[in-house]
């Protein structure tokens, strides 16, 4: 079967970088074929869109190792493609993943868009020592950690707060140990970030070897999780830079509204449709 793949650079920073994401119209594909798409086009993730009913667009997300219940930058990429298909300067819709319904929008034209969505409620709690210690050991963190939390918008991941940017930049995880620890704890991976400045700017790195992504260029869902936690400390809006360690600068923004007991987070970034290719 021949597949047309749309390539989207999701969560760019000032028009540069972003995470290369494959977007495909879903069809009669096996999951093995879906898993093969990311590597075939040089992407970490692929999103498959089923849009026969425009009011009920369905998304499935895959890496080379299998299906994910959610993918933030994949959702941003899908919104950009749906906006281009609509032919309008603004697209609004509710997308449905295997786990959740995702209200979202994209604004722009001619292949360049600003997209954002609501990933849904964030489950958040402090990490136990049994959860944090093996992850921190695998990260080879040499400085004191400001805090660790387990957060989920579909799959749990560990949020690790570090005090300064140099500590984050120096991280050189033991990937086999990190994969073993996240597998054993049933965690998606580890999102390490720096305590944000007063204006909500911070930097982060996401490590997820268990899903075949040693380090992610952009991770919007983890950014949403961190935003909900940091909103309890007065940061209603975050701007998070990622990808510099990989040579692909990426930026995401997250805004938290609602009440402290029922926060609503919206996360997104810039996206450019950079090309198309065909897989046979």
Q: Where are the domains of the chain?
A: 3-118+269-279, 123-266
pLDDT, residue 1, reads 62
**C-alpha–C-alpha distance, residues 77 and 254, integer Å:** 16
Residue that wins the pLDDT comparison between 176 and 99: 176
**C-alpha–C-alpha distance, residues 272 and 79, integer Å:** 11
CATH no. for 123-266: 3.10.310.10
| Cα Rg, the chain, nearest whole Å | 18
Question: For residue 213, what pLDDT band results from cuts at 50, 70 and 90?
Answer: very high
Taking only the tens place, the pLDDT of each residue in 150-198 is 999 989 999 999 999 999 999 999 999 999 999 999 999 999 999 999 9
pLDDT, residue 53, reads 75
pLDDT, residue 92, reads 96
User: What is the CATH topology of the domain spanning 3-118+269-279?
Assistant: Diaminopimelate Epimerase; Chain A, domain 1 (3.10.310)
pLDDT, residue 15, reads 96
Percent of the chain at pLDDT > 70 equals: 99
Same fold, 3-118+269-279 and 123-266: yes
Alpha carbon 102 to its chain's center = 14
Mean pLDDT of the residues in the chain: 96
Taking only the tens place, the pLDDT of each residue in 63-90 is 999 999 999 999 999 999 999 999 999 9
The predicted model gives 105-117 an average pLDDT of 97
What are the tokens at 13?
């920073």
From residue 215, alpha-carbon distances to 44, 99, 124, 211, 218 in Å are: 10, 24, 23, 10, 9
Taking only the tens place, the pLDDT of each residue in 8-44 is 999 999 999 999 999 999 988 999 999 999 999 999 9
pLDDT above 80: residue 52: no
The angle that helices 175-185 and 129-139 make with each other, rounded to 10 degrees, is 160
Question: For residue 61, what pLDDT band results from cuts at 50, 70 and 90?
Answer: very high
Question: For residue 260, what pLDDT band results from cuts at 50, 70 and 90?
Answer: confident
**C-alpha–C-alpha distance, residues 205 and 47, integer Å:** 22
């Amino acid at each position: 079967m021949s597949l047309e793949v749309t390539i989207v650079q999701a969560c760019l920073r000032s028009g540069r970088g972003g995470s290369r994401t494959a977007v495909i119209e879903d069809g009669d594909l096996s999951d093995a074929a879906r898993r093969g798409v990311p590597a075939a086009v040089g992407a970490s993730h692929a999103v498959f869109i089923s849009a026969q009913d425009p009011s009920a667009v369905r998304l499935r997300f895959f890496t080379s190792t299998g299906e994910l219940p959610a993918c933030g930058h994949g959702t941003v990429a899908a919104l950009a493609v749906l906006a281009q298909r609509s032919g309008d300067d603004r697209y609004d819709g509710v997308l449905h993943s295997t786990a959740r319904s995702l209200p979202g929008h994209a604004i722009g034209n001619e292949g360049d868009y600003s997209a954002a969505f609501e990933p849904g409620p964030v489950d958040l709690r402090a990490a136990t020592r049994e959860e944090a210690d093996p992850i921190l050991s695998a990260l080879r963190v040499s400085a004191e950690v400001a805090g660790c939390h387990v957060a989920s918008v579909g799959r749990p991941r560990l949020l690790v707060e570090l005090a300064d940017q140099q500590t984050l930049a120096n991280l050189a995880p033991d990937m086999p140990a990190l994969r073993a620890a996240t597998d054993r704890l049933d965690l998606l991976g580890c999102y390490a970030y720096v305590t944000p400045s007063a204006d909500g700017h911070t930097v982060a790195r996401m490590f997820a070897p268990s899903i075949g992504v040693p380090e992610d260029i952009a991770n919007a869902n983890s950014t949403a999780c961190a935003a909900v936690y940091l909103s309890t400390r007065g940061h209603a809006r975050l701007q998070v830079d990622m990808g510099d360690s990989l040579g692909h600068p990426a930026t995401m923004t997250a805004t938290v509204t609602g009440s402290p007991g029922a926060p609503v987070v919206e996360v997104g970034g810039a996206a450019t449709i950079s090309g198309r290719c065909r897989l046979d």
